[in-house]
Amino acid sequence: MRIPALVTVLALLLLPMAAVSASAADDPPVVKLSKTQAGTGGSVTVTGSGWRPRALLMLLICGQSVPSTGVPGGTNSCANADGRAVTTDAEGRFSRKLPVAEPPVPCPCVVHVATATGPKAEADAIFQVAGHAVEPLPAEPAGGRLSVLTDTRLDGSSGLLTWFGAPPARTFVFTVGNVGTSAVRNPVFQVGTSHGVFAPQWEEQQWRGTIQPGRKARIELPVELAAGAHGDYAVSLKYGGKVMAEQPWGVGRPWGVTLFWILVCLVVPAALFRVGMAVVDRIRPRQSARRRGLRLPEVAFRLPGLRPREEARHAAPPSSALPWFTPDSDPGTAGRLSAPHDDSPTSPTTPTRKGPP
């Protein structure tokens, strides 16, 4: 009986804690300012909580924006040159001074805080730039309005050419629905690609078709990066001046280019060495001629089944006379070179008889 009672008490104690943690995880991030108005050249301290731990955030002052609508014009309506970056602590909090600068569009203005990497999260706080022009927000066009209904994705894969530095390409796929009162014909979307903390580079793409009120359509738009691009990229979708979706894109490094340069570093020195050796051979022709004139001594091979007499028979007879020496050419030396003989009728060694014959 004690064990079930102990389990019940622990459950009652842990349920409120779990509910508090779940509500904290569902709460959006919060941004607070030390003051709501300041002039150009001053600064404002921005604090926040409820963010992802160890997240990199960007702090910007943006015009033509309110917290309820966010930043419709994207970072193009913000003072990007005077923005600041900050990293949250282990509890998702931060504090950073932000210099006050005039945005490129009139106020109402906000201090816009958004994640630079990882899952997208953003928050805004009302701020007034003293001395900056103030104009009412542009009215939203009546009629058809598009809204993203499903999660976006990037279809496609990299091929062999991309491994060697070709531009990576994907297809940006999403589904939109017409939540307005009139049809939307041939809508023009803006697709932007950004790398790291840099602002997206927008490109207009028109989708051919008509979306009736209350209907939805599947949109496919091509996306392409520069040649040799690699790293963490983000693909953003904008329609009607408002960012509708964002999709991360991790692009691998083109290792084929690195392999190519390694081969170049090995082949070029080898080719230069060969060319240098050929030049040296042309510069020193005498030494090469001497080397070619040398002859190796002839080696007589003895066949295992051939007898010595047969070897002598098959061998070529040696030349008896040298080509530059002819014995008969000199008459004075002909007798000297012949074999000695005696022309007398009797040989001095033949014994003679004495007395009468």
Using 50, 70 and 90 to split pLDDT, how confident is the model at 3?
low
pLDDT tens by residue, 213-233: 888 999 999 999 988 888 889
Q: Taking residues 182-189, report their average pLDDT.
A: 88
Nearest-CA neighbor of 186 among 136, 144, 232, 227?
A: 144
* Token output for 196: 């790291």
* Token output for 185: 């014909």
Give the count of beta carbons closer than 10 Å to the beta carbon of residue 18.
Answer: 9
Q: Would you say 210 and 184 are in contact if contact means Cβ atoms under 8 Å apart?
A: yes
So what's the pLDDT on residue 102? 93
Q: Taking residues 321-338, report their average pLDDT.
A: 52
pLDDT tens by residue, 108-158: 999 999 998 878 888 999 999 999 999 988 766 555 688 888 888 999 888
Query: Residues near 204 by Cβ (< 8 Å), separated by ≥ 6?
Result: 188, 189, 190
| Cis check: omega of the bond before 331, within 30 degrees of 0 | no
Q: Quick check: 13 pLDDT over 60? A: no
Residue 346 CA to residue 330 CA, distance in Å, equals 31
Q: Could you identify the residue written with the tokens 């003989």?
A: 341
- Cα R_g (the chain), whole angstroms: 50
Query: Burial, 262: exposed, middle or buried (Cβ in 10 Å; 0-12, 13-18, 19+)?
Result: exposed
So what's the pLDDT on residue 129? 93
184-185 and 210-211 beta bridge pairing: antiparallel
pLDDT tens by residue, 261-314: 898 898 888 889 888 888 888 887 665 445 555 554 544 445 455 455 555 555
Using 50, 70 and 90 to split pLDDT, how confident is the model at 14?
low
In this prediction the pTM is 0.48
Question: Which of the pair, 153 or 356, is modelled with greater confidence?
Answer: 153
So what's the pLDDT on residue 191? 92
So what's the pLDDT on residue 174? 93
3-state secondary structure of 243: strand
Q: Would you say 225 and 251 are in contact if contact means Cβ atoms under 8 Å apart?
A: yes
Q: Quick check: 234 pLDDT over 70? A: yes
Least confident interval from 11-20, 30-39, 313-322: 11-20
Q: Taking residues 232-252, report their average pLDDT.
A: 88
The side-by-side arrangement of strands in the sheet containing 188-195 is 201-206, 188-195, 231-239, 242-251
Question: Which of the pair, 252 or 330, is modelled with greater confidence?
Answer: 252
> Percentage of the chain surpassing pLDDT 70?
70
**Alpha-helical segments (H) within 156-219:** 160-163
Using 50, 70 and 90 to split pLDDT, how confident is the model at 7?
very low
pLDDT tens by residue, 186-202: 899 999 998 877 778 88
pLDDT tens by residue, 56-96: 999 999 998 898 878 876 788 899 999 999 999 999 999 99
